[in-house]
Amino acid sequence: MILITGSAGFVGRNIVEALKNEEIDFVASDVVDSIFGKEVEYVKLDITNREEVFKVFKGYDIDYVFHLAAHPLSASIKEPMKNAVVNIIGSLNLMDASREFGVKKIVFSSASSIVGEVVKNPVSEDHSCKPKTPYGVAKFCVEHYLRVYQELYGLDHVIFRFFNVYGPYQYPSSGALIPVVMERIIKGQEVFIYGDGSTARDFIYVGDIVDFYIETIKRKDIKNEIFNMGTGKLTTVKEVVELIAKVVGKDPKIVYKPKKSGEIMNFSADVTKLKKFFGKVPETTLEEGLKKTYEWFKREVIS
């Protein structure tokens, strides 16, 4: 059985749907009341509460943990202490329970933002890391704790460093580029581009990420490794806006604003290691992924 933390979040909800379709046993968890139907086994769980965490592990025969629960990057700037408690202490609670109850593998969602200063692009997994946010520091810290727990206690793990993930269940309220732009174009509102739109990002469709998560429990030989979860392809913000407009079928009303300071330019994933271990890389094209996202958008956001 798999325990999913952060199952009410964007990536978590997609994993829940996939596991249901694959008929793989799992228990979903999050700090909120269940947003799922009765067909989903769910337990309300605050990972910072050590007693609650151990109670869940005692109540379920958990083989794997998909650890997605996190205090977000934007909030970490205002609340670095809370971020550390959730992202570091919460993770340690899960690791200790996993160690005690014989979990086979923890799959942890890390972030490409831990890199901080990009020296060489595309960025490989062994690129130097100098996080620029409390969130990045916490994610990098947990990566090292997982390494140490494997070395000291034999607790296996897989770490996926997410790049710019998009897709179903990512709502405009998240503030993420793609759902915000999609909603504004659909409604005929102005779309803001900061700078000249040449800032480029590596966008990965959430469905591709889910496939790799499921693969990690099928492949017993893949363990104690870090993988970039990106495509290796860069798309400028302006190109993304134009592509969303094409998918939606409306002309965008673009308004250019002064460039934001501190944005990392042209930052993409080196997916060589992913290909080497899994024999594949994320293959959903941005246009294809946007079409799938738009179909969900029409049903769930603007219906």
156: pLDDT strictly greater than 70: yes
The answer regarding whether domain 165-202+233-269+284-300 maps to CATH 3.90.25.10 reads: yes
Mean pLDDT of 112-134: 93
301: pLDDT strictly greater than 90: no
Mean pLDDT of 94-111: 98
45: pLDDT strictly greater than 90: yes
pLDDT of residue 263: 57
Task: Using DSSP bridges, classify how beta strands 225-229 and 157-162 pair: parallel, antiparallel or unpaired.
Answer: parallel
Confidence of residue 73 (pLDDT cuts 50, 70, 90): confident
Confidence of residue 247 (pLDDT cuts 50, 70, 90): very high
pLDDT of residue 75: 87
Q: For the chain, give the mean pLDDT.
A: 94
Q: 113 near 136, Cβ under 8 Å?
A: yes
pLDDT of residue 258: 86
- Cα torsion 230, 231, 237, 241: sign: negative
The CATH architecture assigned to 2-163+205-229 reads 3-Layer(aba) Sandwich (3.40)
**To the nearest whole percent, how much of the chain has pLDDT over 70?**
98
Annotated domain spans of the chain: 2-163+205-229, 165-202+233-269+284-300
260: pLDDT strictly greater than 90: no
Q: Tell me: the pLDDT tens digits for 268-299?
A: 999 999 999 999 999 999 999 999 999 999 99
pLDDT of residue 162: 97
The DSSP string of 228-262 is EES-S--EEHHHHHHHHHHHHTS--EEEEEPPPTT
pLDDT of residue 194: 86
Q: Tell me: the pLDDT tens digits for 176-199?
A: 999 999 999 999 999 998 888 888
Distance (Å) of CA 140 to CA 153, 161, 205, 266, 292:
20, 10, 23, 22, 32
pTM score of the predicted model: 0.95
Strand, coil or helix: what is 67?
strand
Confidence of residue 259 (pLDDT cuts 50, 70, 90): confident
pLDDT of residue 261: 60
262: pLDDT strictly greater than 90: no
CA 169, chain centre distance (Å): 12
* CA count, 13 A, side-chain hemisphere, 109: 29
Dist CA 224 CA 221 (whole Å)? 10
Q: Tell me: the pLDDT tens digits for 210-234?
A: 999 999 999 999 999 999 999 999 9
pLDDT of residue 122: 94
Task: Using DSSP bridges, classify how beta strands 200-201 and 235-236 pair: parallel, antiparallel or unpaired.
Answer: antiparallel
